[in-house]
């Protein structure tokens, strides 16, 4: 008698097809007459999915997901004309494995997918950090807006967004912490890449 790969309450993510990127916990498990399993998952907003075949799902390692994000978005003039939901989302991962870096995403759905999408920028050097499918780069206008955003005040603590980003990294990545006073590098358009395999 076969057993399901995932259990009730396990956090899963859709990896292919219509449900690619959807995340949630297992609510119900179903077994068909052939002994194949499918799962109904419930997302953070309480929505229940249809039953999804086991082959289309993967376990979500929560420890490698987002630890926190900066409030608001880094917006170009074009983004501002489109509204608050446009622009870059800046976030920090939890228990990252090496160099201090932050993630940028262009939409909430991209952020929720997290793995294999968006881009990363080093926090101690002016370099893109290309790894695990995070290969995006910024155009010139996006980069200028990002720098302005990181220099702007984080109103809750009387520090800049950059200083809050450093604190977010250190609070969630103690093995690779950086000095609290780490200055923001001089990021520039077409800055070089550091690839994970280098």
pLDDT digits (tens, 9 = 90+) for 65-75: 567 788 888 99
Residue 131 and residue 187 in one domain: yes
192 pLDDT higher than 50: yes
Host H or E run for residue 69: strand 66-69
Q: Which of 127, 103, 128, 102 is nearest to 113 (CA)?
A: 103
More confident residue, 63 or 102: 102
pLDDT at 62: 43
82 and 178 belong to one structural domain? yes
Same-domain pairing of 116 and 45: no
Q: How many DSSP H helices and E strands does the chain contain?
A: 4, 13
Q: Are residues 20 and 109 in the same domain?
A: no
**Residues 68, 82 within the same domain:** yes
Same structural domain, 109 and 40:
no
Residue 61: its pLDDT value, please?
A: 52
Same domain, 91 and 103: yes
Of the candidates 137, 17, 116, 108, the residue with the CA atom closest to the CA atom of residue 64: 116
Residue 6 lies in a domain: no
Which tens digit of pLDDT belongs to each residue from 114-171?
Answer: 878 899 999 999 999 998 888 999 999 999 999 999 999 987 778 999 999 999 999 8
Averaged pLDDT for residues 50-63 = 75
116 and 151: one domain? Answer: yes
Q: What three-state secondary structure class fits 102? A: strand
Domain count, the chain: 2
Helix, strand, coil shares, percent, the chain, to 5: 25, 30, 45
Distances (CA, A) of 180 to 87, 90, 169, 171: 27, 19, 10, 11
- Is residue 3 situated within a structural domain? no
Specify if 176 maps to a domain: yes
Domain assignment present for residue 174? The answer is yes
């Amino acid at each position: 008698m076969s057993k399901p790969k995932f259990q009730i309450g396990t956090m899963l993510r859709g990896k292919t097809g219509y449900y690619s990127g959807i995340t949630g916990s297992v609510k119900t498990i179903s077994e068909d007459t052939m002994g194949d399993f499918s799962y109904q998952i419930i997302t953070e907003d309480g929505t229940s999915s249809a039953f999804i075949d086991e082959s289309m799902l993967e376990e979500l390692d929560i420890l490698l997901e987002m630890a926190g994000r900066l409030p608001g978005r880094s917006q170009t003039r074009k983004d501002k004309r489109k509204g608050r939901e446009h622009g870059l989302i800046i976030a920090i991962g939890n228990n990252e494995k090496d160099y201090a870096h932050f993630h940028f995403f262009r939409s909430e759905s991209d952020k929720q997918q997290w793995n294999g999408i968006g881009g990363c920028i080093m926090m101690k050097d002016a370099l893109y950090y290309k790894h695990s499918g995070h290969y995006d780069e910024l155009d010139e206008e996006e980069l200028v807006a990002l720098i302005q955003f990181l220099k702007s005040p984080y109103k809750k603590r009387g520090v800049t967004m950059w200083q809050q980003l450093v604190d977010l990294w250190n609070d969630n990545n103690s093995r690779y912490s950086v000095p609290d006073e780490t200055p923001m590098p001089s990021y520039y358009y077409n800055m070089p890449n550091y690839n994970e395999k280098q």
